[in-house]
A and B are shown apart, each in its own frame.
Chain A
Amino acid sequence: KNQVEQSPQSLIILEGKNCTLQCNYTVSPFSNLRWYKQDTGRGPVSLTIMTFSENTKSNGRYTATLDADTKQSSLHITASQLSDSASYICVVSDRGSTLGRLYFGRGTQLTVWP
């Protein structure tokens, strides 16, 4: 069964600190992996996308890594801000269908305290 597992389930950090969120997947055949940010009461917004050949992708203070061999990804947030408080969702797409089926993790709920 294709799955996406994220850890930790929730995380609290102080403003200005760094943190790393983890995503392990078993989706095969793999097409790409995205990290989405979902603010409370809003829809998810795409932060980064990585394909099989990419192992690092940055978007401002967000840096995603991908190890396709171990099927692991991480999202590193540098110098956290209060506005980083949100749920971060790992989404993996397969190549097995025209739709490019998406497999969603349950998200990591990040809270940044002042």
Chain B
Amino acid sequence: EADIYQTPRYLVIGTGKKITLECSQTMGHDKMYWYQQDPGMELHLIHYSYGVNSTEKGDLSSESTVSRIRTEHFPLTLESARPSHTSQYLCASSEGQGGNQPQHFGDGTRLSIL
């Protein structure tokens, strides 16, 4: 069973607030990812990291930022939340190069911006 944890699971917050979504994994995986998922739609990659001090933007443009100071920790930050940021955010990790290793997903943070 994968050990990847996301907090909070649910967050309802007002417009303009700064938000940090936490993601931690205990598997020692170098590669970590953030996805955005809306109901009935496919997952969209918004950020990924190959390892400590490595971060890249994904396919879907996002106003969020990420950091990777420690291998196990990959937080996502929204400086000023807007209703358009309402979505589910999924964090994942994998070992090895390429797509041959499975991505292990957390249970997500469901974010609602009022």
In the complex, how many angstroms separate the beta carbon of A114 from the nearest chain B beta carbon? 25
In the complex, how many angstroms separate the beta carbon of B38 from the nearest chain A beta carbon? 10
Q: Do B42 and A99 have beta carbons less than 8 Å apart? A: no
Give the interface size class of chain A: 20 to 34
Q: Which of A4, A42, A100 contacts B97 (CB 8 A)?
A: A100
**Contact residues in A for B107 (Cβ distance below 8 Å):** 41-43
Which of A95, A98, A102 gathers the greatest number of chain B CB atoms within 10 Å? A102
A107–B48 Cα distance when bound, in Å, is: 22
In the complex, how many angstroms separate the beta carbon of A104 from the nearest chain B beta carbon? 4
Q: List 12 A-B contacts (CB under 8 A).
A: A31-B99, A41-B107, A42-B107, A44-B105, A45-B105, A49-B100, A49-B102, A99-B99, A100-B97, A100-B98, A104-B44, A106-B40
B contact residues vs A (CB 8 Å cutoff): 2, 4, 40-45, 48, 90, 92, 97-100, 102-108, 110
A contact residues vs B (CB 8 Å cutoff): 4, 9, 31-32, 34, 41-46, 49, 89, 93-95, 98-102, 104-107, 109
Give 19 A-B pairs besides A93-B98, A104-B42, A107-B42 with Cβ atoms closer than 8 angstroms: A31-B98, A31-B99, A34-B102, A41-B108, A43-B92, A43-B106, A43-B108, A44-B105, A46-B104, A49-B100, A49-B102, A99-B48, A100-B99, A100-B100, A101-B99, A102-B45, A104-B43, A104-B44, A106-B41
